[in-house]
Homo-oligomer: A and B are copies of this chain.
Amino acid sequence: MPVAGWEDHALGALREAGFRGGMARRRVVALLAHQDCALTALEIDRRLAAVGRASVYRALEQLEELGLVQRVELAGEAAGYERLEPGGEHHHHLVCGRCGKVIPFADPELERAIGSISTGADFDVSAHEVVLRGTCSTCGRGAQRKAA
Protein backbone atom coordinates (compact mmCIF):
# COMPACT_ATOMS: atom_id res chain seq x y z
CA MET A 1 0.00 0.00 0.00
CA PRO A 2 1.66 3.16 -1.21
CA VAL A 3 1.53 5.80 1.47
CA ALA A 4 -0.05 8.75 -0.28
CA GLY A 5 1.45 11.20 2.16
CA TRP A 6 5.03 10.25 1.50
CA GLU A 7 5.27 11.89 -1.89
CA ASP A 8 4.23 15.26 -0.52
CA HIS A 9 6.35 14.76 2.54
CA ALA A 10 9.38 14.06 0.37
CA LEU A 11 8.78 16.96 -1.98
CA GLY A 12 8.33 19.27 0.98
CA ALA A 13 11.51 18.04 2.62
CA LEU A 14 13.42 18.53 -0.61
CA ARG A 15 12.14 22.07 -0.94
CA GLU A 16 13.03 22.83 2.65
CA ALA A 17 16.49 21.47 2.03
CA GLY A 18 16.92 24.10 -0.66
CA PHE A 19 16.34 22.00 -3.74
CA ARG A 20 14.51 23.39 -6.72
CA GLY A 21 11.67 21.55 -8.33
CA GLY A 22 13.36 19.76 -11.16
CA MET A 23 11.36 17.20 -13.05
CA ALA A 24 13.77 14.27 -13.00
CA ARG A 25 13.87 14.17 -9.24
CA ARG A 26 10.11 14.63 -9.02
CA ARG A 27 9.59 11.65 -11.28
CA VAL A 28 11.86 9.49 -9.16
CA VAL A 29 9.96 10.53 -6.04
CA ALA A 30 6.64 9.79 -7.70
CA LEU A 31 7.79 6.35 -8.78
CA LEU A 32 9.12 5.41 -5.36
CA ALA A 33 5.94 6.69 -3.73
CA HIS A 34 3.89 4.08 -5.55
CA GLN A 35 6.27 1.22 -4.88
CA ASP A 36 5.97 -1.20 -2.00
CA CYS A 37 9.44 -2.65 -2.05
CA ALA A 38 12.97 -1.93 -3.14
CA LEU A 39 13.74 -0.90 -6.69
CA THR A 40 17.22 -0.79 -8.19
CA ALA A 41 18.58 2.38 -9.74
CA LEU A 42 18.69 0.70 -13.14
CA GLU A 43 15.12 -0.46 -12.81
CA ILE A 44 14.07 3.07 -12.00
CA ASP A 45 16.03 4.37 -14.96
CA ARG A 46 14.39 1.78 -17.18
CA ARG A 47 10.91 2.84 -16.11
CA LEU A 48 11.53 6.55 -16.47
CA ALA A 49 12.28 6.88 -20.13
CA ALA A 50 12.84 10.61 -20.29
CA VAL A 51 15.06 10.70 -17.22
CA GLY A 52 18.80 10.28 -17.55
CA ARG A 53 20.55 7.58 -15.59
CA ALA A 54 22.79 10.08 -13.87
CA SER A 55 19.79 12.04 -12.64
CA VAL A 56 18.34 8.90 -11.14
CA TYR A 57 21.50 8.21 -9.19
CA ARG A 58 21.79 11.82 -8.13
CA ALA A 59 18.18 11.97 -6.97
CA LEU A 60 18.56 8.74 -5.01
CA GLU A 61 21.70 10.01 -3.33
CA GLN A 62 19.98 13.22 -2.28
CA LEU A 63 16.91 11.39 -1.06
CA GLU A 64 19.05 9.03 0.95
CA GLU A 65 20.94 11.88 2.58
CA LEU A 66 17.68 13.48 3.65
CA GLY A 67 16.53 10.20 5.12
CA LEU A 68 13.65 9.92 2.68
CA VAL A 69 14.74 6.65 1.12
CA GLN A 70 16.88 3.80 2.35
CA ARG A 71 19.42 1.99 0.30
CA VAL A 72 19.32 -1.78 0.80
CA GLU A 73 22.08 -4.13 -0.28
CA LEU A 74 20.06 -7.09 -1.41
CA ALA A 75 22.41 -8.79 -3.81
CA GLY A 76 25.92 -8.18 -4.97
CA GLU A 77 24.68 -6.93 -8.29
CA ALA A 78 22.86 -3.69 -7.75
CA ALA A 79 21.62 -1.81 -4.72
CA GLY A 80 17.91 -1.34 -4.09
CA TYR A 81 16.20 1.81 -2.90
CA GLU A 82 12.89 2.14 -1.11
CA ARG A 83 11.09 4.94 0.66
CA LEU A 84 11.44 5.44 4.38
CA GLU A 85 8.28 6.31 6.30
CA PRO A 86 8.50 9.24 8.69
CA GLY A 87 6.66 7.13 11.26
CA GLY A 88 9.47 4.63 11.33
CA GLU A 89 7.49 1.66 10.08
CA HIS A 90 9.55 -0.39 7.75
CA HIS A 91 10.14 -3.92 6.65
CA HIS A 92 12.98 -6.26 5.82
CA HIS A 93 13.57 -8.76 3.02
CA LEU A 94 13.62 -12.40 2.14
CA VAL A 95 15.74 -12.95 -0.97
CA CYS A 96 15.39 -16.12 -3.01
CA GLY A 97 18.79 -17.28 -4.20
CA ARG A 98 17.22 -19.33 -6.95
CA CYS A 99 14.92 -16.91 -8.70
CA GLY A 100 16.04 -13.62 -7.21
CA LYS A 101 12.60 -12.78 -5.93
CA VAL A 102 12.51 -10.30 -3.05
CA ILE A 103 9.75 -10.66 -0.47
CA PRO A 104 9.17 -8.01 2.20
CA PHE A 105 8.29 -8.91 5.76
CA ALA A 106 7.98 -7.16 9.12
CA ASP A 107 8.42 -8.53 12.63
CA PRO A 108 7.95 -6.61 15.89
CA GLU A 109 10.11 -8.96 17.94
CA LEU A 110 12.98 -8.52 15.53
CA GLU A 111 12.64 -4.75 15.74
CA ARG A 112 12.62 -4.95 19.49
CA ALA A 113 15.80 -7.02 19.57
CA ILE A 114 17.52 -4.59 17.24
CA GLY A 115 16.29 -1.68 19.33
CA SER A 116 17.89 -3.18 22.43
CA ILE A 117 21.19 -3.65 20.67
CA SER A 118 21.08 -0.11 19.27
CA THR A 119 20.48 1.34 22.71
CA GLY A 120 23.16 -0.66 24.43
CA ALA A 121 25.91 -0.28 21.87
CA ASP A 122 28.67 2.30 22.09
CA PHE A 123 27.61 3.32 18.62
CA ASP A 124 25.02 5.74 17.32
CA VAL A 125 22.77 3.49 15.24
CA SER A 126 20.69 5.36 12.69
CA ALA A 127 19.48 2.57 10.43
CA HIS A 128 19.45 -1.17 10.14
CA GLU A 129 18.89 -3.78 7.52
CA VAL A 130 18.04 -7.46 7.76
CA VAL A 131 18.24 -9.88 4.84
CA LEU A 132 17.12 -13.50 5.03
CA ARG A 133 18.44 -15.62 2.18
CA GLY A 134 17.19 -18.96 1.02
CA THR A 135 14.66 -20.46 -1.36
CA CYS A 136 11.12 -19.24 -1.82
CA SER A 137 8.21 -21.65 -1.78
CA THR A 138 7.69 -21.39 -5.52
CA CYS A 139 11.24 -22.45 -6.28
CA GLY A 140 11.33 -25.00 -3.48
CA ARG A 141 8.52 -27.05 -5.02
CA GLY A 142 10.64 -28.56 -7.76
CA ALA A 143 14.35 -29.26 -7.76
CA GLN A 144 16.23 -29.10 -4.49
CA ARG A 145 19.84 -28.96 -5.53
CA LYS A 146 21.53 -26.90 -8.17
CA ALA A 147 21.91 -28.69 -11.50
CA ALA A 148 24.35 -31.61 -11.23
Given that A76-B71, A110-B113, A110-B114 are contacting pairs, would A134 and B125 also be in contact in the complex, using a CB cutoff of 8 Å? yes
Within 8 A of B (CB), among A102-116: 103, 105, 107, 109-110, 112-114, 116
Residues of B contacting A16 with CB < 8 Å? Answer: none
* Contact of A135 with B126 in the complex, beta carbons under 8 Å: yes
Query: Is the CB of A124 closer than 8 A to any CB of chain B?
Result: yes
Residues of B contacting A103 with CB < 8 Å? Answer: 123
Closest chain B residue to A109, Cβ basis: B113
Residues of B contacting A76 with CB < 8 Å? Answer: 71, 73, 79
Instruction: Tell me the complex Cα distance, A97–B71, Å.
Output: 13
Query: Is the CB of A100 closer than 8 A to any CB of chain B?
Result: no
Measured CB to CB, the residues of A under 8 A from B are: 65, 71, 73-76, 79, 94, 96-97, 103, 105, 107, 109-110, 112-114, 116-118, 121-137, 140, 146
